A and B are shown apart, each in its own frame.
Chain A
């Protein structure tokens, strides 16, 4: 089905950003525009998803060029669901930033850049052209550089240098891979590539090319041993920015991996084993890192790495059930990780620090908010019936099924470490009394009610989404089941893009 409106979520954020650039330095107007724009973005994304569910995969040939020649945009179930979840996370972050970001940063264009970032994410999910995917990645990383350095504190710049160096390296690998792929097949359209790649005689060369993509996406999604940039840069920017990064940026890498390895390079024995080893090592190193960190945001950064391993493992097994687990975990992870960093920001507003040693007494002071946060933490750990539980069921089931016992062990380890560090964080931050030698500076309590609502509402919004996924698991499992079938059998995707194949 051809539908010219599938780029709606991209254009909404583009126009939001332009309007905010026109309202340069008018921070109050920018906040309103940002909230309204993000809200419209969610509505458009819901419409897109329901349309895709009704009518099947939608495509759009940009500039009216026929499919293998022009750039094609494709909205299948995976991308439109991801667009919806991204828009939801974007709405939460945009509301949170209207109070969580200081005015100085807004004056230098925080909001327009944030919307360019969300635009880039939506574009990356919707494109069906591998070079265009690279371009969206560039949009994303350039916006993220600006967001990361905005404010210009010394630690921020230090984190940004590491982040920038490794991400540029990742882009280089990605681009090299695209170049070689184009040299071999003469096409950039992903559906077309999936057809042409089967006809290439030298499959060894294809295998090597796929490693370039694995390296590029591996750096972006923070896979062992390429994850070092993540924990050393994600704790530096303000929490609202870290929430976008932690929730969304690494997940684009996972999405790209899912797309490329399901459509173009169907994983062979070697790639599968490599992915499994990487997954196990990512989980182990991520959880070991999480064990020793006492700063909340550094802890969360290592948890991101740890949980990326779960998804890589699902891709490595590459069966339908495993992919269901990966995709479901991806949805859950975006919502929960974004929320975790927003919570870190809220805790900082309440206490002025993120160091667990000098935190405490939040439960006694704010019992209702603490319960809300507890809900999110439970979901992260994977307590049924919240959203974190279901994907793990699939992953465990499939890992037992095809006897990947090392991965089972890593999953168990990862889950237990997550449980342990979250329990420790709960007792340290919420239950423990405030240490006697620490002066707390509570910025949250004296705030006017409207601003306090703006800080808590996004967290509640994402928490509701998590609960919704958990309780409505049947609906989501059905959706994920369809997505996984589309990933395993790509003929419907190819047919939607290139027309009926004979």
Chain B
């Protein structure tokens, strides 16, 4: 199903949804949101794109396999969990920069944990989705 309306809509929706997902990721420490929700919204953006243009086009934007996001995200999360150990705190302790960063606010190690979750969620959802849809495409041919 190729609809020009959906295609031109996704052209604008994709960046907006990605921005929104990033917004959710950043506000997640004290307010509703966080890495998991943000990751889901970001993957919805790509899902929408693949509905409009076909999964192969989406793969082109992504440039690499979504599977590689899983270890990257896990590594970021795991490092942010173990980082406090080097400074003599128990694992998972939140370490914060002393000064807030303009526009973003306070940044701490928990943000990196969330960032890892965000990447893992995108990786998992897109891997499942592409595995199913690309298999279907191959069978059709």
Residues of A within 8 A of B (CB): 2, 4-5, 7, 11, 14-15, 18, 21-22, 24, 60-64
Instruction: Check A4–B89 contact: CB distance below 8 A.
Output: yes
Classify the secondary structure of B's interface with A: helix
Chain B nearest CB, measured from A68 CB (Å): 16
How many chain B residues sit at the interface, stated as a range, is: 10 to 19
Q: What residues on B are CB-neighbors of A5 within 8 Å? A: 85
Query: Bound complex: CA of A11 vs CA of B84, how far in Å?
Result: 13
Query: Bound complex: CA of A60 vs CA of B72, how far in Å?
Result: 27
Q: What residues on A are CB-neighbors of B92 within 8 Å? A: 62-63
**Interface assignment of B17: CB less than 8 Å from any CB of chain A:** no
Q: Which of B79-101 contact A (CB under 8 A)?
A: 82, 85, 88-94
Known: A18-B74, A18-B75, A24-B71. 16 other contacts (CB 8 A): A2-B90, A4-B90, A11-B91, A15-B78, A18-B71, A18-B78, A21-B71, A21-B74, A22-B71, A24-B67, A24-B68, A60-B91, A63-B93, A63-B94, A64-B89, A64-B90
Chain B nearest CB, measured from A136 CB (Å): 15
Q: What residues on B are CB-neighbors of A63 within 8 Å? A: 90-94
**Interface assignment of B14: CB less than 8 Å from any CB of chain A:** no
**Interface assignment of B70: CB less than 8 Å from any CB of chain A:** yes
Asked whether A22 and B85 contact (CB < 8 A) given A60-B90, A62-B90, the answer is no
- Chain B 7-31 against A: per-residue CB contact (8 Å), 1 yes, 0 no? 0000000000000000000000000
Q: Which of B34-64 contact A (CB under 8 A)?
A: none
Chain B nearest CB, measured from A152 CB (Å): 14
Query: Bound complex: CA of A24 vs CA of B67, how far in Å?
Result: 9
Which of the residues B70, B71, B82 comes within 8 Å of A11, measured between beta carbons? B82
Which of the residues B78, B88, B94 comes within 8 Å of A4, measured between beta carbons? B88
Chain A nearest CB, measured from B28 CB (Å): 16
Query: Bound complex: CA of A7 vs CA of B90, how far in Å?
Result: 10
Q: What residues on A are CB-neighbors of B94 within 8 Å? A: 63
Instruction: Check B88–A14 contact: CB distance below 8 A.
Output: no
Query: Bound complex: CA of A220 vs CA of B75, how far in Å?
Result: 31
Query: Bound complex: CA of A63 vs CA of B93, how far in Å?
Result: 4
Query: Bound complex: CA of A4 vs CA of B93, how far in Å?
Result: 11
Instruction: Check B85–A4 contact: CB distance below 8 A.
Output: yes
Which of B68, B75, B90, B94 gathers the greatest number of chain A CB atoms within 10 Å? B90
Chain A nearest CB, measured from B117 CB (Å): 14
Interface CB pairs A-B, < 8 A, 25: A2-B90, A4-B85, A5-B85, A7-B91, A11-B78, A11-B82, A11-B91, A15-B78, A18-B71, A18-B75, A18-B78, A21-B71, A22-B71, A22-B72, A22-B75, A24-B68, A61-B90, A62-B90, A62-B91, A62-B92, A63-B90, A63-B92, A63-B93, A63-B94, A64-B89
Query: Bound complex: CA of A479 vs CA of B92, how far in Å?
Result: 32
Instruction: Check A64–B93 contact: CB distance below 8 A.
Output: yes
**B67 nearest CB neighbor, chain A only:** A24
Query: Bound complex: CA of A488 vs CA of B70, how far in Å?
Result: 45
Name the 7 nearest CB pairs between A and B, nearest first: A21-B71, A63-B92, A22-B71, A64-B93, A4-B90, A18-B74, A62-B92
Query: Bound complex: CA of A5 vs CA of B109, how far in Å?
Result: 19
Q: What residues on A are CB-neighbors of B67 within 8 Å? A: 24
**B71 nearest CB neighbor, chain A only:** A21
Q: What residues on B are CB-neighbors of A4 within 8 Å? A: 85, 88-91
Q: What residues on B are CB-neighbors of A24 within 8 Å? A: 67-68, 71
Chain B nearest CB, measured from A492 CB (Å): 21
Chain A nearest CB, measured from B115 CB (Å): 15
Chain A nearest CB, measured from B68 CB (Å): 8
**B87 nearest CB neighbor, chain A only:** A4
Query: Bound complex: CA of A394 vs CA of B75, how far in Å?
Result: 46
Chain A nearest CB, measured from B69 CB (Å): 11
Q: What residues on A are CB-neighbors of B89 within 8 Å? A: 4, 64
Which of the residues B70, B72, B78, B85 comes within 8 Å of A14, measured between beta carbons? B78
Query: Bound complex: CA of A5 vs CA of B70, how far in Å?
Result: 26
Chain A nearest CB, measured from B124 CB (Å): 12
**A62 nearest CB neighbor, chain B only:** B92
Q: What residues on B are CB-neighbors of A61 within 8 Å? A: 90
Q: What residues on A are CB-neighbors of B90 within 8 Å? A: 2, 4, 60-64
Q: What residues on B are CB-neighbors of A7 within 8 Å? A: 91
Instruction: Check A21–B70 contact: CB distance below 8 A.
Output: yes
Q: What residues on A are CB-neighbors of B85 within 8 Å? A: 4-5
Chain A nearest CB, measured from B84 CB (Å): 8
**B65 nearest CB neighbor, chain A only:** A24
Query: Bound complex: CA of A21 vs CA of B74, how far in Å?
Result: 9
Chain A nearest CB, measured from B64 CB (Å): 12
